[in-house]
A and B are shown apart, each in its own frame.
Chain A
Amino acid sequence: MSLDHLSYLNIDVEYVNRAVDFLEAYGRGTLEEYRARVDERNNRFNPVRDPELDQPSDAEWVMQADAASALREAAQWAVFLDLERARNLLVQAAVVYNDLGYAFGMYLMVVAGSWALDPPWEVFTRAIEDLRTLHGQGAESASERTHQQELSQVPPPMHYPQQQAYCLAACTGSRAVAREFWPTLYELARDSPHRLGVTPVGALGTAIRRFWEIALYLLPSSQKPQVDSQEPQVGRVLDHLVAMSRVYSEAMGLASANSHLWRHASAPVEPADMDIVGLTTLAVYRFGRQAVQQAFLERGRDLIPVARTPIELGIELASPPDDSPQGANSPIRVE
C-alpha cells in the first residue's frame, strides 16, 4: 500500500495531497503562461520576417522546463496516493519534455503512457539514429564533414550522456521497439563507453553504467547469445535497482533531518524517485510482475521499509490500465 510508504517516510498524507494539487496547478498555469507568450510572439507584426524575432526566447524555454518539472514532481507525489493521477501527470510532463527535446520525456511515456506497447515509430527511429550518430556508429564510411553535419542535427539535450541513458532505457523498455531494433540497440548497449561510465544521472547521482546495464538486460533474451553472466536478466536488473535503493534510503534519511521541509513534502528530494520507480516499472513490463517480485524478494531481504519504497512503488505503477491490450503480468515472448 502506498499510504504505508508515506508512513515509513513519516510524511503526512495531507501535505502530500496539497503538494500534488499545488504542483499540478502550477504546472498547468505555467503552460498557459507559456502558450500566451508564444501566441503573442506569433501574432507580433513582423513585416520583415526577421528570424531572430521568431525564435523562442529563453523565457519561453524556462516556462516549459519549469512546467515539466512541476508536473513531474506532482506525479512522483501522486504515486503514493492515486496511481492513475500519477500516470496522467507523468504523461503531461512527458509531452513537455519531448517538446524540449529531452529523451527523459520518451522514458516517461514508455513508463506511464502508451509508448511501451504503441510507440511512435518516427520518434524512436530518429532517437536511435541520434544515439548511433553520437556514438560514431555508421560513421566509418562517412566523411568527417558528413559526421559533423549529422552531429549538428542531433537535438542539443541528447548530447548529454544522461539524456542518452533515458533514451536507451525508453527504447529497450518498449516491447515493440526492442523487438524491431534489437540488433542496433544491442550493439549500442554493449559497445558504448557509457556501459562502464560513471557520469551521475538523476537526483541520486546514479552512475550511468547502471542505467546502461539495466537497459541492456531489458532487451529480449533470445537474441542475445553472448550474455556474460549466467544469471537471469531479471536478477541483474534487480541487483542494480536494489543498489540504487540503498543510496535512495540514505538520501531520504539525510533529507529528513530538515524536518520543516520534510514534513511539508518540500525537501529537495523525490521520495518516489522516478529513476528507480520507472526502471522497476519497465522491468515489470519486460519480465512480468511475479518474476520481478521474486527477484526483489531474494535480493532485497535486508532492505529497511524506506529503502524498499521506490521498487515497490514501481511495481504498483506497472499495473495495467483497464484497456491495455497486454497485461503487465505477462513477460515478453519473442516470436
Chain B
Amino acid sequence: MIVQWCIKGLSLPNDAAAEDIISERAGLLCNWWRDVHRITPPEVRDRLTLQNLNFHVNHFSSINPTTGRPFGELTPFISLSAGVVERDQAAQTNNVHRAQRTALRFGSRFGRDNTAYLVICWLVVGLRESVEIEGVAEEVRDLNTYRRYSAFQTEGEIVAKVIVPDNQIKSCQKWKRDHPKQPFRLSHTYENPRFTQPDRLSNIRGLL
C-alpha cells in the first residue's frame, strides 16, 4: 500500500460551506451517505462492488434502473485527483498534469464558475484491486476500461470509499478568477487543526 496525496475539487455555494467541511469534523462524505443521512456497515458492504465502481467511473450520470436516479447521486465512492506527473510516461505521451488542474476543472463545474474549492488530503491506496476493502482507496488508472481507449490515463483518478476521514484532510482552499479567460488564483486556505501527518504510517524506523 502507498500513501497518496490527493485533491478533491468541489463546487460549493459559498465560503461558509467550505469552512463547514473543516469545522463540522465530518470529513468528506460520499453522495450516498449525504443523500440518506444514515448508513449501516452491512449497507456499506453491499455497495462496495466492482460493478458499482464501474458505474461510478464510467457511467456517473447514467440512470440506475433500480433507483431511477443517476448512479452518481447515490454512489458510495468519492473521486479525487492525484495527478499524472511521471517523467517516463511524459516522454512517451507528451502529457503531464498536476492534480490541481483536474480539481480546478471539476471544482469550477468544468469552467462554468469563477470560484472553486479544493480539498487537500491523503489516502491509503492499495496496490491491487481491493474494492471491497473500505479503508483502502483504488487507483482508477488500473481499471481495464480506461486502458482500452486511452494509451494514457490522463485523470490520475483515485477513488475513496464512503468517507475521507476528517484528520486526513489538511486544508480546504478557495480559488478564484476574475474572468473565464483568467487563471484561477489561490484566495484563501482553511487549515484543519486536527490534521494528522501521513508520515506516522511510515515503515521506516529510525536508529535507537
Contacts and interface: CB of A to CB of B under 8 A. Distances in A.
Interface of A: 15, 18-19, 21-22, 24-26, 28-30, 32, 61-63, 65-66, 68-70, 72, 97, 102, 104, 156-157, 160, 162-163, 200-205, 250-252, 254-255, 257-261, 263-266, 268-269
Contacts of B153: 268
B38 interface: no
B180 A18 contact: yes
B185 A29 contact: yes
Q: Which DSSP category, helix, strand, loop or mixed, fits chain B's interface?
A: loop
Interface residues of B, number: 43
A200 B151 contact: yes
Given A102-B94, A268-B146, A21 B111 contact: yes
A251 B148 CA distance: 8
Residue of B94, B98, B182 most packed against chain A (CB within 10 A): B94
Given A30-B183, A62-B85, A269-B149, 4 more contacts: A22-B110, A102-B94, A104-B94, A203-B152
B34 interface: no
B148 A254 contact: yes
A62 B150 contact: no
Contacts of A156: 91
A28 B94 CA distance: 18
Contacts, number: 117
Interface of B: 57-62, 72, 85, 87, 90-98, 101, 104-106, 108, 110-112, 145-146, 148-155, 177, 180-185
Contacts of A68: 94, 96
Contacts of A203: 93, 95, 150-152
7 contacts: A21-B180, A62-B98, A65-B85, A66-B98, A70-B97, A200-B92, A251-B149
Contact of A69 (B94, B104, B108): B94
Contact of A18 (B57, B111, B150, B182): B111
A18 B112 contact: yes
B59 A257 contact: yes
B13 to A, nearest CB: 20
A238 B181 CA distance: 38
B91 A162 contact: yes
B183 A157 contact: no
A313 to B, nearest CB: 18
